[in-house]
Structure 1
Amino acid sequence: MNANLSYILWNPDDTALRIGSFAMHWYSLCWLIGLVLAYLIVRRLYKEQKIKDELFDPLFLYCFIGILVGARLGHCLFYQPDVYLSSWQHFVEMILPIEFNGNGDWHFTGYRGLASHGGTFGLMLALWLYVKKTKLNIWRVLDNIAIATPTTAFFIRIGNLMNSEIIGKPTDVPWAFIFEQVDMLPRHPGQLYEALAYAVLMFIGWTIYRRRPQRVGTGYFFGLCLTYIFTARFLIEFTKEIQEPFEAALPINMGQILSLPFIAIGIACMVGGKWMKRLGAEK
């Protein structure tokens, strides 16, 4: 990273570390750090709330699979259905982290293309299945996950920044980034805007929890997380380039369209938290 006039030249190596033939990319590393920190935060919350260890143990697996599957399917079906539903090979690429070559061979790529909206939906479905198995109060589980979620979201967006993806529109603001892997235009660092917004939510959520821990189980933190994250996402999208050509014909882009129902759900949870608490059966 170097400064050029008032702009920031951005062209990092996408490999964070290499051990022999094994390479860990920044995006994968950021995902891993975010998930591990969220795991530790929720584990602490469960202990403070005296929830049994055996009820916590399967939670990480449910969350990991739900987020990964939801984020992958969300990207493929929301943003590129014309590609991934056009042939059996592309359909396989949607499910498995591989890419077929023109001669019929394939190579491992990892999952390139994950949508946060799909990941959120996948997480919610996974937590519903987890609650059915453990019989915990669903609002308590959702609130605890919501307190930890901004940490993972922060690191995912840092991963996007390291990958020079989800770039912003051209701008002349003094903090603009020149993503050399894309072009030599100064652009809004939309990934950094989102990361900073989620860092603020980490502080807000943890502060409220420390002052009013009794709100866990009402749906308040879940509602706050959805409302804040997707309102921030909706607003920051105005600084981003569209991800797919079809979005140019839309009044607002796909990310903003998908954010609206999550904002509505979040507001409903915050406003109706006391009522929703009665729907759960406390363990």
Structure 2
Amino acid sequence: MGVIEWNPDPEIIKLFGVFPLKYYGLLFILGIIIAYKVAKHIYTIEGVSVEKLEKLSGYLLIGILAGMRLGHCLFYDFDYYSQHILEIFLPFQITNGEWHFTGFAGLASHGGSLGAILAILLYCKKYKTPVFWVLDRIAIVTPIVGAFIRFGNFMNSEIYGKPTGGNYGVVFLLDDTIPRHPTQLYEAFSYLLIFGLLWYLYKKTDAVQKQGFLLGILLAVLFTARLIIEFFKENQVAFEDSMTLNMGQLLSIPFILAGVLLIIFGKKMLSK
């Protein structure tokens, strides 16, 4: 092992000399595209119209982005955004009456998860589609998006880990010269492994026949991984320094419990 010095410019280019094109945004979009392709394959082999997936995708895109943004503003930086309401919804920072383009520099994955679930519920209500049929299949591809978001965080040199305390780790030179745990990569590769698990269960077992089971596996395993990795991660906001469990861990616990309940429920459904 050893130390890797990491110092990429998060910004690839400024479009029209004003709007920054960043690795984070490109990786986010790439994750969505790959997840959509896999979901399209699932719909196709099950004989379901891809047009239904296209409609669902619109709901999901809005729900995920809105949920991630609101999650960050409410859970991590409420003091600031409660005084700057417009900045929640606009990609600008307003200082002394001047507007500065910043993009949406604050997104929370827990909020995105809630937004995705709400979007699916609204979609299923409108189009009279079985809720768990959709939730279980979208659960399979969800970790792909999460992994690419974390790759984006790595390119941004953000949401990194605590010092390793040794001569190994990643030095994020944009911030300091201390070898740290690359927790973005820990999460990204964990999520890809979870996708592999869900894909195996879908293709090789009867798990998809257990209503809510695949969703339960996703919630229980992914957020358990998130809770554990948070112990190696630097706190994102100052108020977390006085907490035994940080905000990310506290928000993960309800998802884990919900996942365990769904797994048990799914087993009971199969046995009936």
TM-score by length of 1: 0.90
151, 160, 175: which one aligns with 1:182: 175
Aligned pairs, how many?
A: 269
Equivalent residues of 1:219, 1:276 under 8 A apart? no
Tell me which residue corresponds to 1:63: 60
Contact 1:139–1:217 under 8 Å retained in 2: no
2:32 maps to 1:38: no
With 42-51 and 119-128 compared, the bigger mean Cα shift is at 42-51
Deviations 1:58-113 (A, max 9, x none): 11111110000000000010011111002xxx2111111111133x1102221111
2:6 to 10, 32, 49: 10
The offset of 1:39, in angstroms, is 1.0
Post-superposition offset of 1:144: 0.8
**Residue 138 (structure 1) aligned with residue 135 (structure 2):** no
Paired residues of 2:32 and 2:145 also in contact (CA < 8 A): yes
- Alignment-derived partner of residue 149 in structure 1: 142
Q: 2:109 aligns with which of 116, 121, 131?
A: 116
After superposing the two structures, state which structure 1 stretch, 259-268 or 20-29, moved more. 20-29
Q: Which residue of structure 2 lines up, in the alignment, with residue 95 of structure 1? A: 89
Checking the alignment, whether the CA contact within 8 Å between 1:230 and 1:260 is kept in structure 2 is: yes
Instruction: Give the alignment of 1:1-283 within 5 angstroms.
Output: 6-16=2-12, 21=17, 23-86=20-83, 90-102=84-96, 104-212=97-205, 215-216=208-209, 218-273=211-266
Cα deviation code 1:145-200 (max 9, x no counterpart)? 11001111110000000001111111135541111111111111111100110111
Deviations 1:20-53 (A, max 9, x none): 6464200000110011111111111111111123
User: For the residues of structure 2 that align with 1:261 and 1:80, how far apart are their CA atoms?
Assistant: 21
CA contact (8 A) 2:12 2:22 kept: yes
**Which one is further off, 20-29 or 219-228?**
20-29
- In structure 2, relative to structure 1, the CA distance for the partners of 1:263 and 1:98 (3 Å cut) is same
Distance 1:109 1:189 in 2: 25
8 Å Cα contact 2:201/2:207 also seen in 1: no
TM-score normalized by the length of structure 2: 0.93
Alpha-carbon offset, residue 19 of structure 1: 6.2
State the secondary structure of the residue aligned to 1:110: coil
- Give the 3-state SS of the residue equivalent to 2:103 in structure 1: coil
Structure 2: gaps (5+ residues): none
Q: CA RMSD in A?
A: 1.8
Contact (CA 8 Å) 1:16, 1:23: kept in 2 or not? yes
- Provide the rounded CA distance (Å) in 1 between the counterparts of 2:150 and 2:64: 15
> Could you report, residue by residue, the CA deviation over 1:231-278 in whole angstroms, capped at 9, with x for unpaired residues?
00000000011111111121110000000000001111111015569x
Question: Identity of aligned pairs, percent?
Answer: 44
The 3-state SS of whatever aligns with 1:167 is coil
Contact in 1 for aligned 2:6/2:173 (Cα 8 Å): yes
